[in-house]
Amino acid sequence: MRKQLNDIKDDEIREIYSEGTSKSKFPFVGIALAIAAIAILIVGGYLFFHKDTEDKLQEDAIIEESTIIENNASTPKECGKGEIIAYDTVCNNIPLQVIVPINLQPRLIIGDISPENDSIKLATRAADIREDNGEVVSACVIDGEVISLGIAKKGFCAIINNTIMIGCDEATSLFDESIECKGYFFRQYALIDNGEPISNRSKFKSNRIALCQIDNQTAIIKTSESVSLNTFADALVAFGCKNAISLNGGNAYGWYTDKNGTHNIYGNKFNSDHVTYIAWFEK
Amino acid sequence: MSQFLTISSNNELYRIAVEHIIYINADGNYCNFMQSTGEIHMVVLQLGQIEQLIAKQISNAEKHFIRIGRSLIINRNYIHYINVSKQQLVLADNNLSKYTISASQEALKKLKEIIGEEIK
């Protein structure tokens, strides 16, 4: 059976081979491997059935020893190292960059941060700040402390016990829960709610950045070209996002640090204490 | 002698010579064939199903078609220009009509490598 539609990612390609055509440039390699496998089975079978008792006792001893070693190695497994996976894709003809934080700790931060802080692996601007008084637009909770109130934007992100929840609800109980659990909460424009794109009146086109939920993963997805919120939402749905909210887009500053330690910076930075970031820290 | 790709459903049959297919792009449960005439023909099949039909019906299919990501099959004979950083792929037919398509950087990098291998 040939591969189906979803067995290929957008950053992959494959030549389409006619049925019955060998993809291998070395068709005899497969035959040679099969002969080698049969030979190993025959030799293995011979050795297995012709071992004398002494060998068997030795073998039992070895097995026992290795069992003991295995039992001694019962220290808990180390938590997987945190990392960022970033890749490009295209959905609905919109080039997207997908940045996925793995095994990192998300937090909401108010104030200036920079890639020089090695513990931050990914950071991007989050909630909007009012220009007149420097306050966060709509409800915001940081470390369980209420920073601002309001439901001007229906989309929300709650970070409770290191878990990010994204949705669209004016009266979500996660606001209170984020206070009780000393978590984080902010609001932004909702893009997708339970797999459905949310229509937005604004037709303004800009580079866009979103915080998205895809299956059980959270990702930052950004465009490298100017699109409207509706176009962006449609592309995210096509990509498979179930929930998404818009983040500060345009030339909003952010970065991720890849596995080589390179800081991949986007947007323009202006030093100010009146900015919010969602950032992923090493645990 | 041309090879033909034939797509038949209960109600209709679509038959197109391989050299007249510039690319096929997915649009949900539908696919659009960009033909060398400049016309687009829509079929009610997913791209994976079309990929299977190509493999079944076209001999030496690998000399004609490359699947790029989830939403594109291109006729490799029409590749005219690849710009990895701009995520741009331009296909051009004999009439020098150009079709510009977006694809991921990684996919285009691999495509560039495959086509580059042909000249070695």
**CA–CA distance, A210 with A246 (Å, rounded to integer):** 4
Please tell me the total count of domains within chain B. Answer: 1
Render each residue's pLDDT in chain A as its tens digit; 283 residues: 444 445 788 888 999 998 876 554 444 555 555 666 677 666 665 555 555 444 444 444 333 333 333 333 333 334 468 899 998 888 888 889 999 999 999 999 998 888 888 899 999 999 888 777 778 888 999 999 999 888 888 899 999 999 999 999 988 999 999 999 999 999 999 999 999 999 887 788 888 999 999 988 999 999 878 899 999 999 999 899 999 999 987 778 899 998 888 888 888 776 677 889 999 999 8
Q: From the DSSP assignment, how many helices (H) and strands (E) are in chain A? A: 4, 18
Beta strands A140-142; A184-188: pairing state:
antiparallel
Domain extent at residue B45: 4-118
> What are the chain A neighbours of B107 within 8 Å (beta carbons)?
10-13
Contacts (Cβ under 8 Å, ≥6 apart) of B24: B31, B32, B33, B34, B47, B50, B72, B73, B74
d(CA A244, CA A254): 18
Q: Which tokens in the block code for residue A46?
A: 């011979």
CB B102 to CB A7 under 8 A? no
pLDDT digits (tens, 9 = 90+) for B15-70: 999 999 999 998 877 899 999 888 889 998 989 999 999 999 999 999 999 999 98
The interface pTM score, or ipTM, of the predicted complex is: 0.88
CATH number (domain holding residue B26): 2.40.50.1020
Within 10 angstroms of residue A267's Cβ, the number of other Cβ atoms is 18
- For chain B, give percent helix, strand, coil, nearest 5: 30, 40, 30
Shortest distance between the Cα of A5 and any Cα of chain B, in A, equals: 4
Beta pairing class for B21-27 and B72-75:
antiparallel
Q: Chain A residues with CB inside 8 Å of B73's CB?
A: 16
Domain range summary for chain A, segments of one domain joined by +: 27-72, 83-281
**Residue in chain A nearest B60 by alpha carbon:** A18
The pair of structure tokens assigned to A104 is 């990192």
Evaluate if pTM is beyond 0.95.
Answer: no
Cβ–Cβ of A15/B55 closer than 8 Å?
Answer: no
